[in-house]
Amino acid sequence: MRSPALSRDRLHILIAVADRERHGYAILQDVRDRTDGQVLLSPSTLYSAIKRLLDEGLIEELDERPDPDHDDERRRYYRITKAGRHAVAEEARRLQQLLADARATGLLSKRA
Amino acid sequence: MTEDRPRPSRAARLYRRLLRLYPAEFRRAYARELSLVFEDCWRDAASLRQRLGFGLRAMTGVLTEAPKAQKEELDVLRHDIRHAFRYMRKEAATTIAIVALLALGMGSATLIFSFANGLFLRPLPYPDADRLVAVDEYSPTDPHEFGDMSAPNYADVRAGTHLLADIGLYTAGTVTLRGDAPAERVRAGQVTDGVFRVLGVAPVLGHTFTPLEDVAGAPRVAIIGEDLWRSRYGGDPNILGRTLDTGNAVYRIVGVMPASFTFPDRSDVWFPRRLDLANETRTDYNSEVIGRLAPGATVKTATDEVGALLTAIHHAHPDADNGWHARVRPLRDVLTADYRAVVTMLLIAVGLLLFIACTNVSNLLLAKASGRVREMAVRRALGATRSRLVRQLVVESLVLAMAGGSLGVLLAYVGVPALLGLVPVDLPAWMNFAVDGRVLIFAGAVSLVTSLVFGVAPSLGASSGDLTPVLRDGDRAGSHGGGHRLWRNGLVIAEVAISVLLLIGAGLMLRSFVAIRTQVLGYDPAQVLSLVVDYPEKRYPSGAPARALLRELSSRLSSLPGVTSVAFGTGIPLQDGWSRIFTIEGRPVPLEKMPFVNHVVVSPGYFRTLGIPLVRGRDFSDADYQVPHVIVVAQAFAAKYWPGENPIGKRVRFGPPAANGVWHEIVGVVGDTRHGHITGEENPTVYLPYGAYNGEVVPNAVIIKTTADPAALARDARERITAFDSTLAVTAVRSLGEVIDRATWRDRLVAWLVGGFALMALGLAAAGLYGVLAYTVSLQTREIGIRMALGASAGAMRQLLMRRGLALTGIGLGIGLAVAFALVRLLASFLYRVSPTDVLTFTIVPAILLAVGLVASAWPARQATRVDPLVALRHD
């Protein structure tokens, strides 16, 4: 079964919660750091995406708990699901294919 | 939450406020997280520029995302509703059954609520009607004696009160309009000027009474209603100053009241109630009093004040101290006092019926839900969250409930006029039972609650649980769940128990109604026509002229074909409530201890016409009408005051001792009758020959015994009277049978309604029982097939299923009987000569329930054992 294409924001969020579970602020930081500040999500964009990802079962919510590194406010943690990994892999393949097509037509240098 | 967390910055507070743009559900789920993330980012922004950039990003984020979320929310709802309609189309039969059940339950509930609304919720048609109060005096020892006030007491209360902003005295009656147009009897109010001020209604023309018009000797004036103004005076714009002729006096019309104003009750004409305090008796409790609470006053403080005033009055006039107290009550409570208990009972009955209907719906949905477990499992496997599925099911229930509710409102809309058509009397004009906004809100709220009651349990069942067995095994895995079966059986037991409750209630009501209708009335109502003749006293003054008129009418009516006897009385049985206090010669009692009797003034032949037997002594003779001061008393009266003694020759007199009335000698004793009202305690009755009573009251009620159908006589009787003199007005032409119908309409209507609800409940319980058993059979077809293939006989299988059905019935019956037994005492006040634990009712109802249970179980059991084992084994 093919999943629908993932938007850039959603893909970034999935990647952020792929290696370990993170809460909302941690996701924003991770995306910012990974993209050198190129992708800055607003809290609203983040949670709209989280809600959709939850609805589609691509991520799951864990129990609320405080972040020991931050303060002792309770936060919700999210983690990628099996379906989420599957979707990311598929999206990556799709991007790879896109990249290959672009190279094949000479639009993109083969080394870039 | 920690206390040391810094107070959110101003930006964070602004951000939080901005989050209100999101739909509530999203906000509930994420608002806190969003604020937390915002505060973290805000704090961590290193520079002012970063901070400004983030702030701008966050705010625009909300402004772009919130509308999207709103739209999504709507889309989901729209989708759910579409899906619900699609599902309903697919399951048309189930849908129709559910909607019909709900319409029945909610229609009954809305119908009864419309009546409750008209009585207790819809404001009375006066401004600030909740400040209106009735003031009356009552006997603290005898609950039957209350309700009126004497004019002198009223005048003293009016002079002394501060907590009643205004106060007025009135009596309701009738008047015959004569003059240019044919004689016409209309309802009239005799009111003091205060009554209009208290009620706060202005005339459409002219003015209401002034204090000057209330005093004795003032010019005669009258106010007419808009309807009468149009019908009798052609809406004459120059009506003010025209006259109104009653044949006894001529009144100048000074005002026209709007059609909506009919106080005290359907009045078309108002006359000033003149207080002639010098000649009014303090113990003559003949008028009603209304008032308006002053700002800041309450019913309680006003009662205290009026109570203190009455105590002072009794101190000042010890001869008028009858020991009664005074009270102030909200006008609406007084007007609706007779209906409160019975409407509450009906509301409970429809509530129970609605619950049974919901139970059946719930059972239907549960049966469907187990079929849908697979659908739900598939959708969950495809990623739908549980809350999303529950929501879908809730939307479905809501759509069903709304459909049922709308039909229910329609039923009420049609049912209210239909039920009112069964009421043989004119209800007070302020009672308005139309379906209004309040009724619609009620229906909406009931739809909502019922959809939760019947819809949520199946939803939770269908969307929960472990999915794997469902996907593997199909429908049966989901439906075999012990939880579902327990729930379904519980519902059927509840249905049976509630129908037992309703049937017991209905049975008792029915028994009570039969007791009312079959009781010994003491007279023979068959083939008796009654009517009231109103004659102008000016033309036929009390005494010889009036007696001559009665004799003339009597002979004219007697000559009608089939008429065997004619008599006059001051009241038609069951419509007469004139009671007076009296003293027995040689046994003086103080005023406050004086008992009441029904006081009936009659013409010769009264007892014969009504078939009241003479027990002792003699009937009135013609001579008695010339030489007054003899009376005939009812048996109960004689037995109460002269037990074991001969009452003939004893003497009594009427009125308070101070009035020093004449002594009347008892010459005869007749059988007891139901004279004043058809149920309840009744005062004993004494009869006076017209002529013996030296007041102004003339017996104007006519009773005619015929050998034919009394209704056929009605027109001729009316014509005979008006042909003799066109100023005579004939009203209330009814057979005594109709009079009894009118006196018992409430008991009849309640018995019918409760009976109808109980029968519906019984039908629903039977259908519920059948449904559950049939469904069980359909699920166990395979098991039954295996057992039968292994040699179990069809009879044994049938017995197994029958046992299950009867067990459910039995448990429900047991619970229902126990609850009924505990609760029936609450019905005692509605019952007449029937014990709340009536053996007959408590025997027949269980028998009916068991029979219904047997039939409802026998059918599915038969079906099951007809199954071909081979087919059953293939059955999935």
**pLDDT tens-place string over residues B665-674:** 999 999 999 8
* Contact predicate B266/B188, CB 8 Å: no
Quick one: angle between helices B48-90 and B10-18, nearest 10?
20
Task: Identify the H or E element spanning B782.
Answer: helix B781-789
Bridge-partner residues for B580, per DSSP?
B597
**What is the band of B2 on the pLDDT scale with cuts at 50, 70, 90?**
very low
Q: What is the mean pLDDT of residues B182-191?
A: 90
Q: pLDDT at residue B814 above 90?
A: yes
Six-digit token pair at B288?
């009603």
Please give the residue of chain B at the shortest CA–CA distance from A84.
B383
Query: If you search the block for the tokens 């059953």, which residue do you land on?
Result: B872
Beta strands in B324-432 (DSSP E): 325-330
B383 contacts A76? CB cut-off 8 A: no
Query: If you search the block for the tokens 């549960």, which residue do you land on?
Result: B366
B58 contacts A24? CB cut-off 8 A: no
**What is the band of B478 on the pLDDT scale with cuts at 50, 70, 90?**
very low
Residue A42: which of B26, B61, B69 has the nearest Cβ?
B61
Ordered DSSP codes for B46-113:
-SHHHHHHHHHHHHHHHHHHHHHHHHHHHHHHHHHHHHHHHHHHHTHHHHHHHHHHHHHHHHHHHHHH
Handedness of CA B20, B21, B23, B25 (dihedral sign): negative
Residue A71: which of B5, B41, B57 has the nearest Cβ?
B5
Residue B57: which of A42, A70, A73 has the nearest Cβ?
A42
Q: What is the mean pLDDT of residues B759-788?
A: 80
* Contact predicate A87/A58, CB 8 Å: yes
Q: What is the pLDDT of residue B313?
A: 93
Residue B57: which of A40, A47, A75 has the nearest Cβ?
A40
Handedness of CA B541, B545, B550, B556 (dihedral sign): negative
* Contact predicate B239/B171, CB 8 Å: no
Provide the residue type at B512 as one letter: S
Alpha-helical segments (H) within B435-481:
437-463, 468-473, 475-479
B249-263, B303-317, B464-478, B504-518: least confident range? B464-478
Q: Which residues contact B851 (CB under 8 A, 6 or more apart)?
A: none
Q: pLDDT at residue B480 above 80?
A: no
Handedness of CA A9, A11, A14, A18 (dihedral sign): negative
Q: Residue B728 burial (CB < 10 Å; 0-12/13-18/19+)?
A: buried
DSSP B121: I
Does B378 reach chain A within 8 Å, measured CB to CB?
A: no
What is the C-alpha to C-alpha distance for residues B567 and B687, in angstroms, rounded to an integer? 13
Six-digit token pair at A95?
């991007």
Q: What is the mean pLDDT of residues A26-43?
A: 90
Nearest to B366 by CA among B771, B875, B856: B771
* Contact predicate B701/B496, CB 8 Å: no
Other residues' Cβ atoms within 10 Å of the Cβ of residue B301: 15
B60 contacts A25? CB cut-off 8 A: no
Query: If you search the block for the tokens 């995302």, which residue do you land on?
Result: B65
What is the C-alpha to C-alpha distance for residues B263 and B840, in angstroms, rounded to an integer? 46
For B686, how many CA atoms within 13 A lie in the half-sphere containing its CB? 30
| Nearest chain B Cα distance for residue A97, angstroms | 27
Please give the residue of chain A at the shortest CA–CA distance from B30.
A47
A70 contacts B40? CB cut-off 8 A: yes
Residue B383: which of A40, A48, A57 has the nearest Cβ?
A57
A46 contacts B383? CB cut-off 8 A: no
Q: pLDDT at residue B20 above 80?
A: yes
Nearest to B325 by CA among B344, B309, B347, B343: B309
Please give the residue of chain A at the shortest CA–CA distance from B379.
A56
| Nearest chain A Cα distance for residue B416, angstroms | 49
A70 contacts B61? CB cut-off 8 A: no
Question: How high does pLDDT run on average in chain B?
Answer: 86
What is the C-alpha to C-alpha distance for residues B315 and A90, in angstroms, rounded to an integer? 102
Q: Is the peptide bond before B647 cis (omega within 30 degrees of 0)?
A: no
**Residues of chain A contacting B, Cβ within 8 Å:** 23-25, 28, 40, 42-48, 50-51, 54-57, 70-73, 75-76, 83
3-state secondary structure of B114: helix
Q: What pLDDT digit, counting tens, does each position of B118-148 carry?
A: 999 999 999 999 999 999 998 888 776 776 8
B372-376, B382-386, B491-495, B703-707: least confident range? B382-386
Provide the residue type at B248 as one letter: N
B62 contacts A42? CB cut-off 8 A: yes
Six-digit token pair at B791?
């040699």
Residue B40: which of A25, A45, A47 has the nearest Cβ?
A25
| Nearest chain A Cα distance for residue B62, angstroms | 5
* Contact predicate B683/B598, CB 8 Å: yes
Q: What is the pLDDT of residue B370?
A: 65
Six-digit token pair at B553?
């009418």
**What is the band of A1 on the pLDDT scale with cuts at 50, 70, 90?**
very low
Please give the residue of chain B at the shortest CA–CA distance from A60.
B385
Q: What is the mean pLDDT of residues B688-712?
A: 80
Q: What is the mean pLDDT of residues B503-519?
A: 90
| Nearest chain B Cα distance for residue A37, angstroms | 11
Query: If you search the block for the tokens 């959708």, which residue do you land on?
Result: B379
Q: pLDDT at residue B274 above 50?
A: yes
What is the C-alpha to C-alpha distance for residues B720 and B733, in angstroms, rounded to an integer? 13
Does B185 reach chain A within 8 Å, measured CB to CB?
A: no
Q: pLDDT at residue B99 above 60?
A: yes
Residue A43: which of B29, B34, B64 has the nearest Cβ?
B34
Nearest to B713 by CA among B554, B529, B556, B552: B529
What is the C-alpha to C-alpha distance for residues A85 and A81, in angstroms, rounded to an integer? 6
Q: What pLDDT digit, counting tens, does each position of B590-636 carry?
A: 887 888 888 888 888 899 999 999 999 999 887 777 666 889 999 99
B2 contacts A71? CB cut-off 8 A: yes
DSSP B581: E
* Contact predicate B693/B601, CB 8 Å: yes
What is the C-alpha to C-alpha distance for residues B477 and B467, in angstroms, rounded to an integer? 10
DSSP B775: H
B29 contacts A51? CB cut-off 8 A: yes
Bridge-partner residues for B82, per DSSP?
none
Alpha-helical segments (H) within B708-744:
710-724, 736-743
**What is the band of B460 on the pLDDT scale with cuts at 50, 70, 90?**
low
* Contact predicate B251/B213, CB 8 Å: no
Side by side, the strands of the sheet bearing A59-61 are A22-23, A77-80, A59-61
Nearest to B332 by CA among B38, B622, B628, B117: B117
Q: How far apart are the first and last CA of chain B?
A: 55
B61-75, B275-289, B480-494, B667-681: least confident range? B480-494
What is the C-alpha to C-alpha distance for residues B598 and B589, in angstroms, rounded to an integer? 19
The percent helix, strand, coil of chain A (3-state, each to 5) is 50, 10, 40
Category of B187 on φ-ψ map: left (φ > 0), alpha (ψ -120 to 50) or beta: beta
Bridge-partner residues for B566, per DSSP?
B704
Strands B250-257 and B221-225: parallel
The residue of B25, B60, B65 whose CB has the most chain A CBs within 10 angstroms, and thus the best one to mutate to test that interface, is: B65
Nearest to B523 by CA among B676, B672, B638: B672
B385 contacts A55? CB cut-off 8 A: yes
Does B56 reach chain A within 8 Å, measured CB to CB?
A: no
Q: What is the pLDDT of residue B164?
A: 95
Q: What pLDDT digit, counting tens, does each position of B292-336 carry?
A: 999 999 999 999 999 999 999 999 998 888 888 999 999 999 999
The residue of A28, A41, A42 whose CB has the most chain B CBs within 10 angstroms, and thus the best one to mutate to test that interface, is: A42
The residue of A41, A44, A64, A77 whose CB has the most chain B CBs within 10 angstroms, and thus the best one to mutate to test that interface, is: A44
B64 contacts A76? CB cut-off 8 A: no
Six-digit token pair at B453?
């009651």
Does B340 reach chain A within 8 Å, measured CB to CB?
A: no
Nearest to B364 by CA among B410, B331, B400: B400
DSSP B866: T
Q: Residue B368 burial (CB < 10 Å; 0-12/13-18/19+)?
A: middle
Please give the residue of chain A at the shortest CA–CA distance from B29.
A51
Q: What is the mean pLDDT of residues B566-589?
A: 85
Nearest to B268 by CA among B294, B287, B246, B292: B246
Percent of chain B scoring above 70 in pLDDT? 92
**What is the band of B1 on the pLDDT scale with cuts at 50, 70, 90?**
very low
Residue B69: which of A48, A70, A72 has the nearest Cβ?
A48
| Nearest chain A Cα distance for residue B40, angstroms | 7
Residue B292, phi then psi, degrees to nearest 5 = -120, 130
Q: What is the pLDDT of residue B487?
A: 77
Diameter over CA atoms, chain B: 121
Does B27 reach chain A within 8 Å, measured CB to CB?
A: no
Q: pLDDT at residue B371 above 70?
A: no
3-state secondary structure of A65: strand
